[in-house]
Structure 1
Amino acid sequence: MQTVKIYTTGTCPYCIHAKQLLKERGVTELDEIRVDMVPGERQKMMEITGRRTVPQIFIGDLHVGGCDDLVALDDRGNLLSLLNTSSRG
């Protein structure tokens, strides 16, 4: 299974929903980066993604986007196959 990295805050309902969906799809470990607790992480996230909102989700080295993007990916039936592709280095 691909590594999943997610930038979050502690009280964001979209972050909670995204993490629940990932768990439902079999993700047991998340590399969760709390931008509200770690100085500089929001700025780093913004530089990488061009976005300032959370969550920002990466599956492997692919930036999926936010919660709505993750849900849309799942609705199209593409989330599981993306999660289960072999790592790209």
Structure 2
Amino acid sequence: MAAPRIDIYTKFGCGFCVRAKALLDSKGAAYHEHDITFGGKERTEMMERAPSARTVPQIFIGDLHVGGSDDLQALDRAGKLDALLAG
């Protein structure tokens, strides 16, 4: 089974974004980063995918909306992140 696509919506200077990307990097997970610092179509896309999201990062693994950095860290602590990344 192929690894799912990972999308992470970020903003410049966001420490939580850096922390989430560092965790994904430590797992060897390839991800697609969408910088929404200046809004635009990618911010609109994020809002369509996660209508209640007001902060960054917003992380999607496949079709699953993981949430933010704390949510990603919690999945890792619970031992569930590796399975999600593997598909």
TM-score tier after normalising by the smaller chain length: 0.7 to 0.9
Q: Could you list the per-position Cα deviations for residues 27-57 of structure 1 after superposition, in whole angstroms to 9, with x for gaps in the alignment?
A: 1x21111001452322331232121100000
For the residues of structure 1 that align with 2:37 and 2:53, how far apart are their CA atoms? 15
Identity, in percent, stands at 49
Helix, strand or coil at the partner of 1:17: helix
TM-score (norm 1): 0.86
CA contact (8 A) 1:45 1:52 kept: no
Report matched runs for 1:37-76 at 5 Å: 37=38, 39-49=40-50, 50-76=52-78
Aligned residues: 84
TM-score (norm 2): 0.88
Unaligned runs of 5+ in 2: none
